[in-house]
């Protein structure tokens, strides 16, 4: 268990100190209209002020207009300068240049990486830092795109599980709509996090906390939390099989 008010304080202090020490002008945040980016944006504003935070809203299929509108309204309410940059023409251009028809997952990852490129273009131009929005649950499951949504100069909520990010949203006073939305990476039409992962975030976090933080095995987790063995095994397998996404790029030892 983490203390949510204390976590908020520590994150805001960290973001303020890190920006000061880096000498950068501010933070750039990709704002999707979802929970994680909303919490990250609010933390950044609380830490360094709205004048040193900039939002990028990057719609593309299958972005829902409701989410884009929520992202805009949040930036406006927080006094953050933002830019809306559509990515679909760029996605189409990439897809038309390769000698194959990209699979759904391939094109979904392409969208995420294009957003990363735009974030870093702005960061380079403004001498700012890209502030990542990934949470601990996604990281432990490898539920992110390599060189995409996990690419960042600094992260705000990467030590908090998804369910803890929801608590933090309430602590920050964010509108309930951000907490109540069905989480999605927005990679293709109909994609949802929990549908793809095969379990709810409440179930996943219960499993990961016991497997990672407490060192319990599958049978111990099943006995303690009463979640089906198949779900527990699936979550554990997702963590173990995605270790390559969390490590440094492998290379041969020479020196």
Domain CATH for 24: 3.40.50.620
149 occurs within a structural domain: yes
pTM of the model: 0.93
23 falls within a domain: yes
| 254 lies in some domain | no
Beta bridge partners of 57: 84
Query: Could you give the strand order of the β-sheet that contains 81-84, starting from the edge strand earlier in sequence?
Result: 81-84, 53-57, 27-30, 129-132, 154-155
- 17-64: per-residue pLDDT in tens? 999 999 999 999 999 999 999 999 999 999 999 999 999 999 988 768
Residue 255 lies in a domain: no
Q: Where is 130: in which H helix or E strand?
A: strand 129-132
Q: 79 and 179 in one domain?
A: yes
Residue 184 has pLDDT above 80, yes or no: no
Q: Which of 87-91, 154-158, 180-184 has the lowest mean pLDDT?
A: 180-184
How would residue 250 be classed by pLDDT, with cut points 50, 70 and 90?
confident
Q: Collapse the DSSP code of 84 into the 3-class scheme (helix H, G, I; strand E, B; otherwise coil) and give the result.
A: strand
For residue 155, what are the β-bridge partners? 132
- Three-class SS state of 56: strand
Residue 111 within any structural domain of the chain: yes
Q: What percent of the chain has pLDDT over 70?
A: 95
Per-residue pLDDT band at 191 (split at 50, 70, 90)? low
pLDDT of residue 195: 73
Q: Say how far apart CA 70 and CA 255 lie, in whole Å.
A: 52
Residue of 175, 224, 173, 178 lying closest to 203 (CA atoms): 224
Q: Does residue 91 share a domain with residue 131?
A: yes
Nearest to 242 by CA among 148, 147, 141, 162: 141
Contact between 194 and 141 under an 8 Å Cβ cutoff? The reply is: no
Split into its structural domains, the chain has a count of 2
Round to whole Å and give the CA distance between 64 and 190: 11
Write out the residue range of the structural domain in which residue 30 sits.
4-193
231 and 175 co-located in one domain: no
91-100, 121-130, 182-191, 220-229, range with the lowest pLDDT: 182-191
Indicate if 95 and 220 belong to the same structural domain: no
120: closest CA among 132, 110, 129?
129
Average pLDDT, the chain: 93
Mean pLDDT for 193-201 is: 80
Does 188 have pLDDT greater than 80?
no
H or E segment at 166? Answer: helix 162-172
């Amino acid at each position: 268990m983490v203390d949510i008010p204390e976590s908020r304080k520590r994150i805001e202090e960290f973001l303020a100190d890190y920006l000061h020490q880096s000498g950068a002008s501010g933070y750039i945040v990709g704002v999707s209209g979802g929970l994680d980016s909303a919490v990250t944006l609010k933390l950044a504003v609380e830490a360094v002020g709205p004048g040193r935070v900039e939002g990028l809203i990057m719609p593309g299929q299958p972005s829902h207009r409701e989410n884009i509108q929520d992202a805009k309204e949040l930036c406006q309410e927080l006094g953050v300068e933002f830019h809306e940059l559509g990515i679909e023409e760029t996605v189409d251009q990439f897809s038309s240049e390769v000698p194959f028809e990209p699979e759904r997952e391939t094109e979904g990852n392409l969208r995420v990486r294009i957003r990363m490129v735009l974030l870093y273009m702005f960061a380079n131009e403004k001498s700012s830092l890209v502030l990542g929005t990934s949470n601990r649950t996604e990281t432990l499951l490898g539920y992110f795109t390599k060189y995409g949504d996990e690419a960042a100069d600094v992260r705000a909520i990467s030590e908090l599980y998804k369910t803890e990010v929801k608590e933090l949203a309430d602590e920050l006073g964010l509108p309930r709509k951000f907490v109540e939305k069905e989480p999605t990476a927005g990679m293709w039409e109909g994609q949802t996090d929990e549908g793809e992962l095969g379990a709810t975030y409440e179930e996943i976090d219960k499993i990961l906390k016991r497997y990672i933080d407490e060192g319990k095995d599958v049978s111990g987790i099943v006995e303690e939390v009463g979640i089906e063995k198949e779900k527990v095994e699936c979550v554990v397998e997702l963590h173990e099989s995605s270790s390559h996404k969390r490590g440094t790029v492998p290379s041969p030892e020479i020196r």
